[in-house]
Amino acid sequence: MNPRKLLVFLIFPIIFNLASAATAAAHSPENVNLDFPFFTLRNLTLLGDSYLRDGVVGLTRQLGVPSSSSGAAIYNNPIPFFDPETNTTASFSTRFSFSIDNVNPTSFGDGLTFFISPNNQTLGSAGGYLGLVNSSQLTKNTFVAVEFDTRQDLHFDDPDENHVGLDIDSLISIKTADPMLRSINLKSGNVITAWIDYSNDNRKTEVFLSYSTSKPETPILSVDLDLSDYLKEFMFVGFSASTEGSTELHYIENWSFRTLGFSQIRPRINPHNVTDTTVPPLNPPPQIPVSDSNNRRHKSIGLGLGIGIPSFFCVVLVVFGYVSVKKWKGTKTEKILKSELITGPRQFDYKELKFATRGFHPSRILGHGAFGTVYKALFPETGTISAVKRSKHSHESKTEFLSELSIIACLRHKNLVQLQGWCVEKGELLLVYEFMPNGSLDNVLYDYIDNGYNNNNNPLKWEYRYNIAIGLASALTYLHQECEQQVIHRDVKTSNIMLDGSYNARLGDFGLARLMDHDKSPLSTLTAGTMGYLAPEYLQYGKATEKTDVFSYGVVILELVCGRRPIEREGQNGKMVNLVDWVWGLYSEGNLVGAADGRMKGEFEEAGLRKMLLVGLSCANPDSSGRPNMRRVLQILNGEAEGLVVPRKKPSLTFSNSLPLSIDDLVSDCGSPDSQLEIRID
């Protein structure tokens, strides 16, 4: 037999076994062990009204007035619960601390859940649906959940307004228990620690509750039920909560989670694959004497072969092993990347987007931005609606497109417009966003001006305005202080603030945004943005900082309260009036409430209105050192911190540079109050 074929014949069984074992190991799931003493947005997907503040997750809207709200916080990556190779279902154990508080103790409901679901993008309805189930499609969502319910809902056979239950694909619990048997009131406002353990061997789920961090010896709820039929190969884990006409607040403070029961497959070499075909002869042949030189030569050849063949054999195995391991690692890395991208933006096909927008038909235009046109896209296969931003064909727009894609694809916050995907084909630059039913804040505030009709009978309600201010502050706090790299938006304005179906603020259009490391001075010398929203020092020196975003936020807040644009022409002579100057003038006269939008017809909370206007003036202070950071703003609006002292007279600034900084000069330079401004400062 050819020596090469013989070598292949000998090593093939070994290689086959090694490859099989490596493949099995690559596909074998591993036990998961998560531990979050506090939360960050790097590992969580926030849906609905949920938010993150100081490492604590809030699941429902934080308002002083009764409202309906639902939210969820979900771990980003899917977790393996079932191994199809070994037909093994994992056991799991989780521990978390939560509190259910209330501004008004008589206004309770509805509770929170810990859930396991194959879906991480669907949020359930408010009220008794606990953010788990869609009220119009009760059988759509599938899940295994433990509910901590604070309202009796007879529709779901709730026993009372303080119970724990195990739910599977339905809010009618498999079994419930009363925490008061252990003197635990779910809505006491105290921090409660919960342990949920499922043993696949015993087919049992147990729930433990305690006001301390010590796990009780006996569970408060024990259910004998096999969950293997409900735990799929990959599932998402998280929390949800809801309210309906109440001020109940739901917080998750820390969380640990682990799975047990998966064992790694180790590579094995089968000894029976090596065959011995040597048979000793019955009559050994007579020995023939040979010369000593020939003997030494044969010994040298034999020694060479004895060393060479095994060495070659080892080299082949090492090379093959190296290639195999490298390929295996690449496959594993690819799997990890794919799992990371499950919840992220995807690449769309150009034909798909062209069909969804009817060939980018003018009737589908939702609006125009500085760097492109936004179209409404209807995808008939899924019945979903999205917004497609089509950037202009230029080098500059490509730069802005790549900037927006690289920045927003990494960001996750409930008050940011969610990027769904992108497309770079046919010379087109396209971004796909979630569709915002109520359009932009600019349209809602000023549509009656732009289109020549009066919408006095349908103004933006005060509660919505205040909630928009809080939502926008939360988004900017996240960008400035909670991201791994600080994001300066640089174009905060009403037309870039979108409103979802519940009039929650969603900040979008990151085309001008810039990433930078925290505590590093920004180096940008390109002034870019919209007149009326630009901070004086940014306009003068062209350096964007978080304080320039704070100034723009202050202008937006004043717009929200006053219903006026940042710069407007008034009177017959068309004199330009700056909104910040106008409000500060009323404040100096002791008539701050006089700045309120007349379309609200006095239907607002005066204390809240004063607070918003003073926050707006604080943020729009010409002196950047006098402006608060966005975290302080958020705390003030949430009633968690005292407001800042605002001087009665607007501070003034002087610059050594001779650039025109008066309103009339700036507007005459730019053409109109809404012009997009770009000034290069050398």
Say whether 332 counts as a known binding-site residue. no
Instruction: Name beta bridge partners: 177.
Output: 164
Write out the two tokens for 25. Answer: 């190991």
Residues belonging to the chain: 682
For residues 240 and 124, give the distance between their C-alpha atoms in angstroms, rounded to a whole number. Answer: 9
Q: Please give the C-alpha separations between residue 36 and each of 42, 48, 97, in angstroms, as whole numbers.
A: 12, 22, 11
For residues 611 and 473, give the distance between their C-alpha atoms in angstroms, rounded to a whole number. Answer: 14
Of the candidates 158, 43, 167, which has an alpha carbon nearest to the alpha carbon of residue 117? 167
Set 83, 491, 509, 597: catalytic member: 491
* DSSP codes of every residue in 215-240: PPSS-SEEEE---TTT--SEEEEEEE
Write out the two tokens for 206. Answer: 């147990």
Kindly provide the b/e burial profile for residues 430-454, where b requires at least 16 CB atoms within 10 angstroms of the residue's own CB.
Answer: bbbbbbbebbbbbbbbbebeeeeee
φ, ψ of residue 532 to 5 degrees: the values are: 95, -25
Q: Which residue matches tokens 């989670």? A: 257
Residue 79 one-letter amino acid: I
For residues 50 and 661, give the distance between their C-alpha atoms in angstroms, rounded to a whole number. Answer: 42
DSSP character for 349? P
For residues 538 and 529, give the distance between their C-alpha atoms in angstroms, rounded to a whole number. Answer: 10
Annotated catalytic, 54? no
Using an 8 Å Cβ cutoff, are 212 and 240 in contact?
Answer: no
Residues comprising the binding site for ATP? 389
- Which residues are catalytic, by number? 491
